[in-house]
Structure formats: structure tokens, C-alpha cells
Chain A
Amino acid sequence: MKVTVDEARCCGAGQCVLLAPEVFDQREDDGIVVLLEAEPAEHLHATVREAAAVCPASAIELSDAG
């Protein structure tokens, strides 16, 4: 799994950090998403999928990395 984030779309809700703090964080000043792990380990895939699904701004995209 490969994760990409679109900073321009991100609204800073932090829902992704609540679900998967191992993969996502937020910048201190404006709350925009910080991607900690672009290729998360398999045991995190389900929560990352959920984080992408509940993102209020649809700023998280997932693709299958080979």
C-alpha cells in the first residue's frame, strides 16, 4: 500500500491522526497533515483505509504498491 496526501485539500481535522497515529500527524501551526509513513506495514492497512474513507476533505489517496 502506498499513501499520498494532498496538503491543499487537507482541512486539518485530524481524523486520520486519531485513527492511525503511526502513519499520520499534523503540523503544529496550521494542522495540515504530515505523512509519517508512505508505505505502512500490513497490520496498519485496515486503519489507514478507514482514515482515508473518513477524511472530511478527501485528502488521502491510497494505491496498491506492486
Chain B
Amino acid sequence: MSVPADVVVVGASAAGLATAEALRRKGYQGGLTVLGAEPHLPYDRPPLSKQVLSGAWAPDRARLRPREALSALGAEFLLGDPAVGLDVERRAVHTASGRTLRAGAVVVATGLRPRTLPGQAGLAGVHVLRTLDDALALRADLRADLRDPARLVVVGDGVLGAEIAATACELGAAVTLAGPEPAPLAGRLGPMIAGLLADLHAERGVRLRPGAGVSGLDGHDGRVTGVRLGTGEVLPADVVVVAIGAVPETGWLAGTLIRLENRTNATEQGGLVASCILGDDRPYRPVPYFWTDQFDARIHVHGTPSAGAEPTVVDGDPAERRFVALYHRNATITGVLGWNMPKQARLWRGRIGDAVTGLAPAL
């Protein structure tokens, strides 16, 4: 495979930037263009539901690289101009402003777009949280003088919904966290960890509505007034965040792509894509990893948790909210979870794939 003379990366977030940087790191000297739908220089998404929403960080702090580092990359950043079409045969990308970008290789790194509820569009006070502008709009709405405290309903009990609930609660909002699971993240981390998370949220003042199917939104004069549950009950709300997952942002492409998405994958995949472009094909097999901050809990997950089986605590003590637990399946360790024990969790990570037998229950 010959190295292309120029590369267009569609998407200027973590994955797009990682691809551009990896190309240069591996010695690629051809033309490099990074096309971004948003007007912002590449920024990091994990702080959006935490430090940016809370106001602890000014928006600029979420930037992935200082301006000088981006200049040193020797790439042209075309921002605020979404891709609208891809001509595979001509390797050309068409943009909203009417540009046509041709290149020897086109990298698709447009990420995800949030799923929404029916009737959500056009109803003021209803938010998603995917972009920097989304986070700032939610923050402004929570601080607007609607009611004190603002009543926030978070629809969705996954990582993002639980983080938003925690941050908004600390901002002083009256928060209800509603979702289909019996406890936050139960489907992903299992009942024991989810139960500890539920306890934490409840004791900090978040009202939990587990097992809640959401059927729609109520509004008045174009502004949301509540979230309707499948049971007919309405949760009154001044502000609503819908955090019910995301789908690949591939509306501008003819085909469909399937990808793993989280912040670590974004950078690791970027490195891999760069290798492929430069003719070095390697299988993509990283150990999955994510972390979440909720109130004073910092939770790290390496590998694959199995929600079905209870994890085994191997260090620390859940009662002290500082422990490491191992997930296993068919007598093999599949994942490691650290709750306020990051270094210890990382040390256990090497045991993923090992047999459970002979495991010391506590160090």
C-alpha cells in the first residue's frame, strides 16, 4: 500500500486529533486537514459533565492541546463546517459551507450524536450533553432564575446521566434521576456496585426513580414542565437532560459504521488508523477502560465487567468506599473495578484473563 499524498480527517474531537497526531508521530509528512463541525478547537468531552458543567473549569480549560501544539502539527483545521457528504470514488468530502476536500485518504471520526425523546426538539429547557455548547447551555439554564432551586430531571441512568445528576446536585439543583435500571449503571456494573452508587446519590439528595420507563415530555408555552413516565405519573421539571445513549454520527455517510466509543478508545483508535494509512495493519485489541466521577467517588473500570455475576472484593472495603473488585465469568477474570483506589485497580488489571482459582480474597 502506498502512502497517500494527503489525508482529510473528518471530525476534530479526540479521535480526529489523535489520528492527526499519530500520523505525524509516525513520520507522515503529507498534507493534513482536520474538518470539525463545531467552531471550537479540539476539546475533551469527559470534563463537560463534571468540571465544565460545575463551572470549576472555564470552557478553554477543556481544550485538548494548547494552540502552539496544534500549530506545530502542521495540519489545517477547518472548524465550524460540518461534513455533509462523502464521495468514496473520488475520495472527496463535501461540507455544509460548500467546500469540497479531496485527499488520498479520508478518515471518518465524526463520533456520536445523542439519542433524543419524541417531542424533544423545539421544547425549551430540554437538553442533551454532547458538546461544549451543550454543557454551557445546560449550566446557564440551571442557573437561570426559573425557580430556586431549579427542578432538574435527568432521563437516563447510565454514566453520563449519573454524572450530570451528581454535578447538578452539587450546584444546588433539586435533581431527580430517572431510568429503566433498578439502580444507576446496574446494567453495566451489576447490582452490588449500582447499589453503592444509588446509596451515594440518595444520601447526597438526588431523588432516584429506578425502573422508570419514560414515555414523553410535557410542556407549556414551548417550555418543558415535566417528564411523563410509562405509568402515567409526571415528574415536574424546570429543566430536563436526556442522556439515553448515542448513535454514530453517520447521517452524512451512505453506509453504517459500528464502533466502540469512549474517550480512551478515541485516542487508541486514532493511533491505529494512522498505522493503517501508513501501511502497518495491526488488529485493534486494547483493554477497554473508562472512569467516572460522581460526588466524591472516582470509579475506574478496566476490562469487561459482567453485570450478571457479583464481583469479588480483593482490596479495601466497600463500607469505606475505597476498594478494588474483580469481575469474573466462567472462572476467568474479565474486569477490574476500583472505587477510589486507582493505582491498586491498575495493578490488578494485569490479572485480566487469569483464572479465578487461587485468587487471594483480600491482600
Q: Quick one: which of A12-60 are within 8 Å of B by CB?
A: 12-15, 17-18, 26-28, 30-31, 49-50, 53-58
Q: B44 at the A/B interface (Cβ < 8 Å)?
A: yes
Chain B residues near A58 (CB-CB < 8 A): 44, 64-65
Residue of A nearest to B69 (CB): A61
Q: Which of B267, B271, B341, B349 contacts A56, CB < 8 Å? A: B267
Residue of A nearest to B68 (CB): A63
Bitwise, B11-24 to A at CB < 8 A (1) or not (0) is 00000001001100
Q: Which of B22, B267, B346, B349 contacts A31, CB < 8 Å? A: B346
User: A54 contacts B342, CB within 8 Å?
Assistant: no
A56–B349 CA distance with the chains assembled, in angstroms: 16
Q: Which of A13, A56, A57, A61 contacts B346, CB < 8 Å? A: A13
Chain B residues near A18 (CB-CB < 8 A): 346, 349
Q: B25 at the A/B interface (Cβ < 8 Å)?
A: yes
User: A13 contacts B291, CB within 8 Å?
Assistant: yes
Q: A1 at the A/B interface (Cβ < 8 Å)?
A: no
Nearest CB on B from A44, distance (A): 15
A15–B65 CA distance with the chains assembled, in angstroms: 19
A57–B341 CA distance with the chains assembled, in angstroms: 17
Nearest CB on B from A11, distance (A): 5
A49–B346 CA distance with the chains assembled, in angstroms: 20
User: B289 contacts A28, CB within 8 Å?
Assistant: no
Measured CB to CB, the residues of B under 8 A from A are 18, 21-22, 25, 44, 46, 64-66, 69, 263-264, 267-268, 270-271, 289, 291, 293, 298, 300, 338, 340-343, 345-346, 349
Contact sample, A vs B, 28 pairs, CB 8 Å cutoff = A11-B298, A11-B300, A12-B342, A13-B291, A13-B300, A14-B342, A14-B343, A14-B345, A15-B264, A15-B289, A26-B342, A30-B342, A31-B298, A31-B300, A31-B346, A50-B271, A53-B18, A53-B22, A53-B267, A53-B271, A54-B264, A54-B268, A54-B271, A55-B267, A56-B263, A56-B267, A57-B44, A61-B69
Since A26-B346, A53-B21 are in contact, a sample of 9 more A-B pairs with Cβ atoms closer than 8 Å, ordered by chain A residue number, is A11-B298, A12-B300, A13-B264, A15-B289, A31-B342, A53-B18, A54-B264, A54-B268, A57-B46
